[in-house]
């Protein structure tokens, strides 16, 4: 079974981007081992807002050659030929991706709404949050309002010179 | 100068209590060193909601003998004789507490609104968040919406058997 990993950077107060989608508050830190993540991932999942923000950034922010699925009911597939637009049944699509052959990981890139929807459907295995030493005071939340209450198990932590700290969890289940 | 320390437990998604003020999602963990905190603190600051929640809990949740200041424009001082109700000029009151003689710490117990107000006024020295292995999906936020963007410096982390992780920061300043 392939794992779905919600791997994001967040501020200490739980935002993954500013309200405008900005990421410039995340410290550049060359000691963060993106290579380890990229080596394991072959599939990327994004909501519409996260996809727009990633395209605006203009860089390759996921492993080259990955299959990219963007969950949106408004984007037109013909305008985004490099990705697969999924406009219905996100839960089923992800459930099918998880049972595909192979052992590549599925990177849930963001955002909070897609995360919350997949949590409800029991389709998220790991939550990996790199906390930047910032309070944003607002922005795009790590988990959407109204998401279920979910218990996690801490797997480990990593501290970086920039003051970022990665907290790795696996999902135990919803408690209510 | 006495330090103001915002020391709270929070969910991974940045909530310090459920919407109803509940704390029962925070694991009991006897290895958390409350004694070290209690030994340093002689003054406690709370907003109205946090004060109500603490009273409902019915336990002594701060050091015995502490001076307790509750910031509220609606609570009536005569109904709360054990604490000092502050209904105006929170910033000035806290600025004065910080410059009092002695080296006892001032514990900003909660909540997010009081924290944000004191951040704006430059009256918070340390942010110490113990992250429980939970996603709440909603509740009382760690920092109030509209709080300033604030840069922090990581001082250290502590990991507990329950899966809680304390992140200790000092406040560098607001960036915008």
Compare all CA atoms of chain A with the CA of B115 and give the residue at the minimum distance.
A137
- Residue A61 in any domain: the answer is yes
ipTM of the complex: 0.93
Shortest alpha-carbon distance between residue B82 and chain A (Å): 32
In a domain, B31, yes or no: yes
For residue A176, tell me if it sits in a domain: no
What is the 8-class DSSP label of residue A118? H
**Model pLDDT for residues A102-131, shown as the tens digit of each residue:** 999 999 998 899 999 999 999 999 999 999
Residue A142: alpha-carbon gap to chain centroid: 9
Position of tokens 């502590």? B158
- A149 secondary structure, DSSP code: P
Provide the pLDDT for residue A57.
Answer: 73
Q: CB distance A167–B142 less than 8 Å?
A: no
> Cβ distance B18 to B139 under 8 Å?
yes
For the stretch A138-152, pLDDT in tens is 998 999 888 889 999
Domain assignment present for B176 = no
Residue B129 belongs to domain spanning: 4-171
Kindly state the average pLDDT of the residues B82-103: 94
Average predicted confidence (pLDDT) for chain B = 92
Residues with Cβ within 8 Å of A10's Cβ and at least 6 positions away in sequence, in order, are A16, A129, A130, A131, A132, A142
Q: Judge: B165–A149 Cβ closer than 8 Å, yes or no.
A: no
Are B127 and A135 inside 8 Å of each other by CB? yes
Asked if the model's pLDDT at residue A175 lies above 80, the reply is no
User: In sequence order, which residues have a C-beta less than 8 Å from that of residue B143 and are 6 or more positions away?
Assistant: A13, A135, A137, B14, B112, B115, B116, B119
A25: nearest CA in chain B? B151
User: Cα B123 from chain centroid?
Assistant: 13
Tokens of A143: 């988990």
What confidence category does residue B174 fall into, taking pLDDT thresholds of 50, 70 and 90? low
For residue B74, give the CATH number of its domain. Answer: 3.40.430.10
Residue A115 makes CB contacts below 8 A (sequence gap 6+) with A6, A108, A124, A142, A143, A144, A147
Residue B125 and residue B99 in contact, taking contact as beta carbons nearer than 8 Å: no
Q: Are the beta carbons of B131 and B165 closer than 8 angstroms?
A: yes
Is the Cβ–Cβ distance between A78 and A63 less than 8 Å? no
DSSP H or E stretch at residue A42: strand A41-47
How many angstroms separate the Cα of B169 from the Cα of each of B6, B9, B172?
Answer: 10, 14, 9
Q: Which two tokens stand for residue B79?
A: 């109904």
Lowest-confidence pick of A19-23, A81-85, A140-144 = A19-23
pLDDT at B176 over 60: no
* Residue A117 · residue B105 · CB < 8 Å: no
Average pLDDT over every residue of B6-34:
91
Q: CB of A146 within 8 A of CB of B15?
A: no
CB contact under 8 A, A127 and B14: no
Whole-model pTM: value is 0.93
Residues B128, B168: contact at Cβ < 8 Å? yes
Query: Under an 8 A CB cutoff, do B149 and A159 touch?
Result: no
How many other CB atoms sit within 10 Å of the CB of residue B8?
A: 21
Interface with chain A: mutation pick from B7, B13, B16, B150, highest number of A CBs within 10 Å: B13
The token duo for A104 is 């590549």
In the predicted model, is pLDDT for residue B41 greater than 90?
yes
pLDDT at B149: 92
Query: How far does chain B reach from its first CA to its final CA, in angstroms?
Result: 26
What is the average per-residue pLDDT within B131-139?
95
Beta bridge partners of B8: B129
Query: Which pLDDT score is estimated for A176?
Result: 42
Kindly give the pairing relationship between strand A134-135 and strand A67-71. Answer: unpaired
Q: Is residue A13 part of a domain?
A: yes
Whether the predicted pLDDT of B76 surpasses 60 = yes
Q: How confident is the model at residue A54 (pLDDT cuts 50, 70, 90)?
A: confident
- List residues in chain A touching B: CB distance below 8 A: 12-15, 25, 116, 119, 127, 129, 131, 133-138, 141-154, 157, 159, 163-165, 167, 169, 175
For chain B, how long is the longest CA-to-CA vector? 43
B163/A131 Cβ within 8 A: no
What confidence category does residue A69 fall into, taking pLDDT thresholds of 50, 70 and 90? very high
pLDDT-based confidence at residue A174 (cuts at 50, 70, 90): low
- Residue B172: what pLDDT? 92
Orientation of helix A90-98 relative to helix A112-120, angle to 10° = 70
Q: Tens digit of pLDDT for each residue in A31-48?
A: 998 889 999 999 999 999
The average pLDDT across A54-60 equals 75
Q: Residue range A158-170: average pLDDT?
A: 97
B57 or A50: which leads in pLDDT: A50
For residue A135, give how far its alpha carbon lies from the nearest alpha carbon of chain B (Å).
5
Interface of chain B toward chain A, CB-CB under 8 angstroms? 12-15, 25, 116, 119, 127, 129, 131, 133-138, 141-154, 157, 159, 163-165, 167, 169
Count the domains in chain A.
Answer: 1
3-state SS assignment for residue A61: coil
- A80-84, A146-150, B7-11, B93-97: least confident range: A146-150
């Amino acid at each position: 079974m392939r794992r779905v990993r919600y791997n994001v950077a967040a501020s200490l107060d739980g935002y993954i981007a500013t309200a405008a989608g900005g990421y410039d508050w995340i410290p550049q830190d060359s000691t963060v081992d993106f290579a380890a993540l990229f080596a394991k991932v072959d599939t990327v999942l994004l909501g519409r807002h996260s996809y727009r923000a990633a395209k605006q950034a203009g860089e390759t922010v996921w492993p080259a050659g990955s299959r990219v699925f963007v969950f949106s009911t408004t984007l037109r597939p013909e305008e985004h030929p490099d990705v697969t637009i999924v406009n219905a049944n996100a839960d089923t699509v992800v459930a099918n991706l998880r049972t595909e052959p192979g052992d590549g990981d599925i990177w849930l890139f963001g955002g909070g709404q897609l995360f919350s929807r997949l949590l409800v459907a029991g389709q998220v295995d790991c939550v990996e949050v790199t906390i930047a030493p910032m309070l944003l005071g607002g922005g795009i939340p790590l988990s959407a309002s109204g998401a279920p209450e979910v218990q996690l198990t801490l797997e480990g932590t990593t501290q970086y010179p920039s003051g970022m700290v990665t907290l790795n969890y696996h999902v135990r289940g919803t408690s209510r």
